[in-house]
Structure 1
């Protein structure tokens, strides 16, 4: 299972708009550069956090914990023999 194209494109566009579009619309003032920097860093961090969470769901590091009875039931329904060990 790989990454779907639409969610990656959509969220990249949303955070790109925040990181590129919003700094262009900041009002003039003494803190304009600070506000622009905050918006760009916020967009970059939020996009990166979302991307890491999205990618972690594609190949999880660990699976569900199954009880011994559930494993035996699955093995029986799939006609597999359990290896004792």
Structure 2
């Protein structure tokens, strides 16, 4: 399990469009500067949040908690039966 290129590239492009291209298409007006800054910050923070969530799934700190019964069923289905007394 590692970094997949496509999700990283797709989401980077999406948020780059919001943060880099978006400020150039803001119409002229009294709040143009504020709107530009908001788009840039939105693009950067949303991309960073997505990246942190994506990376957290690569090496989770907490694994699933399974009962002994579930573990025995999984072992049996995967071809490694474990005896209940073992």
Q: TM-score range by the shorter chain?
A: 0.7 to 0.9
Which runs of at least 4 in structure 1 moved beyond 4 Å after TM superposition?
72-77, 79-82
Change (3 A) 1:80 1:69: closer
Q: Give the root-mean-square deviation of aligned CA atoms.
A: 2.2
Other-structure match for 2:48: 48
Under a length normalisation based on structure 1, what TM-score does the superposition of the two structures give?
0.83
Report Cα offsets for 1:17-65 as digits up to 9, x if no partner. Answer: 1001010011111111000000000111110111111111111111111
Aligned equivalent of 1:7? 7
Greater CA deviation, 59-68 or 12-21? 59-68
Q: Which runs of 5+ in 1 are unaligned?
A: none
In 1: Cα distance, 2:14 partner to 2:74 partner:
43
On the 8 A contact 1:75/1:81 being kept in 2, the answer is no
The residue matched to 1:12 in structure 2 has which SS?
helix
Q: In 2, distance between residues paired with 1:78 and 1:20?
A: 53
